[in-house]
Amino acid sequence: MTEDCAFLKPLQDCHPGIRAGWVARVPGLAITGEREAAMRLLRPYHEAALAKFGGSGAAWWRAEQVHGKAVARVPGVPQVLAPDGLPLVPGVDGLVTQQTGLVLAIYVADCAAIWLADRRTGAIGLLHSGKQGTAAGILDNALAVMARDFGTRPGDLAAVLSPCIRPPDYEVDFAAQIALQAARAGLHEFHDCGENTAADRSRHYSYRLENGKTGRMLALVVRDSLP
């Protein structure tokens, strides 16, 4: 179920051991409830996508996503059970790792996912960045964590921005703000797919357009091998 997205190719090209995935709107699945009900409906579809992406029994790590800037290095941090019955890392909006075989996962439905890949060390990251997280500086915080823990240098990083809501459907162009932050940080590559989640309900969920009663897209990344 993960889409073969051309916009993820720059990330995967930067390091042969890194793969990224994107699960878009599930065709024909009616979602009329709030987040918890939506996540329960989506769970079997997302678990099937994860099994295809990471392999049967793959370990995956999710962030709680509280619209902040906290980033956790995994594994080695506590997890709690979410209402959908699956574990997550509480209080964070970003995950980073240098370990092979760990799938990082972020849900979005108007906010952006940011994939990060270090072409030198093979470290990876995945961030949830909407209006609040972007303003708080989650990208800069993730770069600081990766520098501290993995020796990552901005000039070695490739970053990709997922579909997200944009003007004229949203009053804040946080995609442009993220691009500016990436440029100021000196990232080697920054790629924005340019897609507006509020402009195509056949492919995207949009929290704003659907008044909160909608599903979530799923961003994935894994490091399969050492540099």
Q: Tell me, what's the pLDDT at 1?
A: 47
Q: Tell me what the pLDDT averaged over the chain comes to.
A: 91
Provide the pairing of β-strand 217-223 with 189-192: unpaired
Q: Tell me, what's the pLDDT at 226?
A: 66
Closest C-alpha to 73, from 106, 103, 95: 95
Domains identified in the chain and CATH numbers: 6-223 (3.60.140.10)
pLDDT tens track for 155-180: 999 999 999 999 999 999 999 999 99
Asked whether residue 2 carries a pLDDT value surpassing 80, the answer given is: no
Q: Tell me, what's the pLDDT at 21?
A: 93
pLDDT tens track for 87-125: 899 999 999 999 999 999 999 999 999 999 999 999 999
Q: Tell me, what's the pLDDT at 20?
A: 93
**Which of the pair, 15 or 181, is modelled with greater confidence?**
181
Q: Is residue 227 reached through a cis peptide bond, with omega within 30 degrees of 0 on the bond before it?
A: no
Provide the pairing of β-strand 102-108 with 59-62: parallel
Q: Tell me, what's the pLDDT at 5?
A: 80
Q: pLDDT confidence of 133, banded at 50, 70, 90?
A: very high
Is the pTM higher than 0.85? The answer reads yes
pLDDT tens track for 4-58: 688 898 887 877 889 999 999 999 888 887 888 888 888 889 888 888 888 766 7
Distance CA 100, CA 124 (A): 10
Asked whether residue 145 carries a pLDDT value surpassing 70, the answer given is: yes
The residues that bridge with 191 in the sheet, in sequence order, are 160
Q: Is the dihedral of CA 179, 146, 218, 13 positive or negative?
A: positive
